[in-house]
Structure 1
Amino acid sequence: MSASPAAPALSARTLLDLVKFEHTVFALPFAYAGMLLASMQLHGSGWPGFLVLLWVSVAMASARTAAMAANRIIDRSIDARNPRTAGREIPAGKVSVAQAWLVVALSLVVMAFASWQLNPLCLALMPLAVVFLIGYPYTKRFTWLCHLWLGVTDGAAAAGGWVAVTGHFGAGAWLLWLVVIFWMVGLDTIYATMDYTFDVANRVQSVPVRFGIPRALQIAAVSHALTFVLLVAVGWAVGASFWYFLAALIMGGILLYEHRIVNPNDLTRANVAFFDANMWLALTMLAGVIADVTWRTLT
């Protein structure tokens, strides 16, 4: 009787590739923005304290790691059939399913500990957060509203940054959540256009599959227009300074650029629109909030 193949060695590089750690740049800046704006509202200073910063960072990074590892496990059969994703770590045999589940379990333990270190509401909301984190891959199997589920999940990071400081929700938290919801709906819809042919053939649900690529890009554009309106509403709700609104204007320009480089007849730059443009948008948000709370703290 032959021995079962040994599990592949899991290097740090492979682990980072498995969970696409670089994509943490999407949600984490919004979590920091919520944290800084909440601290400004509560204390009159944008600095929430080193421990809050530490545990927010740990909670958000571990939550995203758990979500991505679970996503790769749940979608492994779909990924193996899709030429664009067949090289991912689990289909390619670089990471075993058992190893990936271990990553999920350890990440959730770390997330729970970080939530406990923050405040009782963060800890109490963690089980609900896990449902959304793990549930996203399943939504693609039965509804084109999967992008909305992803938006609600990632938007919780921004609201979570606020709650980590205040221990409760406020107008700023809800508005930041909505900002990320509509932002993610738009960007994930654009991302889904790259798999349109495969998704149609394999009954994977998405806005492009349901409405076609031209209409899907229109829906993404409307979603991003709402994102900009909500960004302005956040600034108004928290009494932001000129620096925040300048950042919001730049973010609006980035969103416009995103839709200028992607059209139904040319999707070759969809990945640029998905990653590069949105990375700069998230970093602009954080830079604008840092400038805003620093200005208001010093004046």
Structure 2
Amino acid sequence: MAVSLAHTWRSTRITLEMIKWEHSIFALPFALTGAVLAAGGWPHAVTLLWIVVCMVSLRTAAMAFNRWADAEIDSLNPRTKMRAIPAGLLSKGFVAMFTIVSLAIFLFAAAILNHLTLLLSPIAIVVVLSYSYMKRLTRWSHLVLGLALGIAPSAAWIAVRGTLDPRIIVLTGAVLLWVAGFDVLYACQDFEHDRTHGLNSVPQAFGVQGAFLLARLMHVLMLGLLAWLVVLFHLGPIAIAGVVLVAGLLLYEHSLVSPKDISRMNAAFFTLNGIISVVFFISVAADIAVRNLQSR
């Protein structure tokens, strides 16, 4: 029994490392932004807790499923062949069970939040899991990944209100373009591999130079949607400053990499994007808090 528990714990730890669960920070601040906008301030602590559980469990399931679905593809790619499954550190059966458990936690949390959250939860599952097969089908798989994270603020709104306001879909669109843009850049690392093995991506279809242009366009459009969101919710100078800071961070992110030099891709992809989501959430939350104080 002790050996079995030790093995399960070791496999769980390796799985969490494999899926980089701490990178839930990418989408979580945008989900919290949706929750704060829905509540007009901080939602009830219990609601906030279950939103976080939903976010982390579904993102965990999606990443584990992606590693399960891509195990054979990863084994052929020099950049990914040392991931846990192709390296033999984890079995596909364990990762599949880990995915199922994560999905069960997500459904439980969705059921606690409200009826509409539970009703729509299967759609969220289909969206986030389907991404794992999109590179086999379309060059626009980056947009599906963007949608998988982009539904977070709309889902959080539903969790708080029990209804959906069309205005929050603007933030979903912004997150979709933000994620798709940096995923296009990240895919440039696998340009030769994808072309050789017949996998679809924007870099594979349009070349690295074309991919960079499309990623920049996506991020410009994302900034436009964030500005529109500020107008729709009548946010003030702190939120506007947040959009300006996001623009500056995106500009810096794009300055770190170029079609001829992608060596600093990890710094651009992980570090800066985590900062971007946190900065925007803090600016919106602070703006709403100040407005509430002034209206008292």
Shift of 1:192: 0.2
SS in 2 for 1:263: coil
Higher relative contact order (CA 8 A, sep 6+): 1
User: Which residue in the other structure is 2:3 paired with?
Assistant: none
Shift of 1:9: 4.5
CA RMSD of superposed structures (Å): 1.3
Contact residue 15 and residue 64 of structure 2 kept, 8 A: no
1:128-181, CA deviations, whole angstroms, 9 ceiling, x for partnerless residues? 111111110111002001001111111011111111111111133211100111
SS in 1 for 2:235: coil
Return the alpha-carbon distance in structure 1 between the equivalents of residues 161 and 237 of structure 2.
Answer: 25
User: Which residue in the other structure is 2:17 paired with?
Assistant: 17
Question: Which of the residues 151, 156, 162 maps onto 2:151?
Answer: 156
Return the alpha-carbon distance in structure 1 between the equivalents of residues 53 and 242 of structure 2.
Answer: 26
Give the structure-1-normalised TM-score.
Answer: 0.94
Return the alpha-carbon distance in structure 2 between the equivalents of residues 102 and 18 of structure 1.
Answer: 15
Amino acid at match of 2:218: S
Q: Which ranges of 4 or more aligned residues in structure 1 deviate by more than 6 Å?
A: none
**2:86 paired with 1:86:** no
**2:29 paired with 1:34:** no
Return the alpha-carbon distance in structure 2 between the equivalents of residues 8 and 193 of structure 1.
Answer: 37
Q: How does 1:34-183 map to 2 (within 5 A)?
A: 34-40=34-40, 46-183=41-178
Return the alpha-carbon distance in structure 1 between the equivalents of residues 283 and 88 of structure 2.
Answer: 42
User: Which residue in the other structure is 1:243 paired with?
Assistant: 238
Shift of 1:13: 3.2
User: Which residue in the other structure is 1:3 paired with?
Assistant: none
Question: Which of the residues 271, 281, 284 maps onto 1:289?
Answer: 284
1:267-299, CA deviations, whole angstroms, 9 ceiling, x for partnerless residues? 111222111111110111121122112111211
Q: Can you give the 5+ residue segments of structure 1 that lack an aligned partner in the other structure?
A: 1-6, 41-45
Contact residue 237 and residue 287 of structure 2 kept, 8 A: yes
Return the alpha-carbon distance in structure 2 between the equivalents of residues 18 and 173 of structure 1.
Answer: 32
Count of aligned residue pairs for this structure pair = 288
SS in 1 for 2:27: helix
Return the alpha-carbon distance in structure 2 between the equivalents of residues 224 and 164 of structure 1.
Answer: 28
1:244-277, CA deviations, whole angstroms, 9 ceiling, x for partnerless residues? 1111110011111111221111111122211111
Return the alpha-carbon distance in structure 2 between the equivalents of residues 56 and 241 of structure 1.
Answer: 26
Contact residue 151 and residue 182 of structure 1 kept, 8 A: yes
Q: Can you give the 5+ residue segments of structure 2 that lack an aligned partner in the other structure?
A: 1-5
